[in-house]
Amino acid sequence: MAGLLCFHWVGFMKFAIALLAGPQDPAARSALEFARAVLSSGHQISHLFFYREAVHLASLLGVQPQDEQDITAEWRQFITEHRLDAVVCIAAALRRGVLDKAEAQRWERPAANTAAPWELSGLGQWVDALQSADRAVTFGT
């Protein structure tokens, strides 16, 4: 009987969530709503990974019209509030001009446009996330 119950009891899980599409794509919101629901369901988000056009979410420079929601600000707030690891693929970010201070200095660019809570790091982080998480879900394919 206990065995049967165990079978149905999935328990709390670690989720890795990846986003591939940029702030202008509806997927940026789907991923955020899903991430919120993961936490409100009592599960854990072990990794957030931003690849391809999603690296633009880490830019601090976007200015949205006043009557529209600012998805990059919402993501930033969510990550900060829940102290999540938000890794932006460094190779994808460099190509697309999303740089933190260290990268801007290294590549002699005139400015940086991202900072904490976003962290630039390698694809290995995503590979690692896929290994250690109980579930991996990708948005913005």
Active site residues: 89
Asked if 25 interacts with another protein (CB under 8 A), we say: yes
Residue 15 and residue 46 in contact, taking contact as beta carbons nearer than 8 Å? yes
Alpha-carbon distances, residue 36 vs 108, 123, 126 (angstroms):
38, 24, 20
Please report how close the Cβ of residue 100 comes to another protein at its closest, in angstroms: 20
Torsion of CA 6, 10, 13, 15, to 10 degrees: 150
E strands present in 34-109: 44-50, 86-89
Asked if 60 interacts with a copy of itself (CB under 8 A), we say: yes
Asked if 4 interacts with another protein (CB under 8 A), we say: no
In this chain, which of 44, 52, 94, 104 binds another protein, going by CB under 8 A? 52
User: What is the distance between the alpha carbons of residues 88 and 128, in angstroms, rounded to a whole number?
Assistant: 14
Asked if 40 interacts with another protein (CB under 8 A), we say: yes
Asked if 140 interacts with a copy of itself (CB under 8 A), we say: no
Nearer to a copy of itself, 110 or 124 (CB): 110
User: What is the distance between the alpha carbons of residues 54 and 130, in angstroms, rounded to a whole number?
Assistant: 18
Binding site for another protein (CB under 8 A): 10, 13, 15, 20, 24-27, 29-30, 33-34, 36-38, 40-41, 43, 51-52, 65, 67-69, 71, 91-92, 122-124, 126-128, 130-131, 134-141
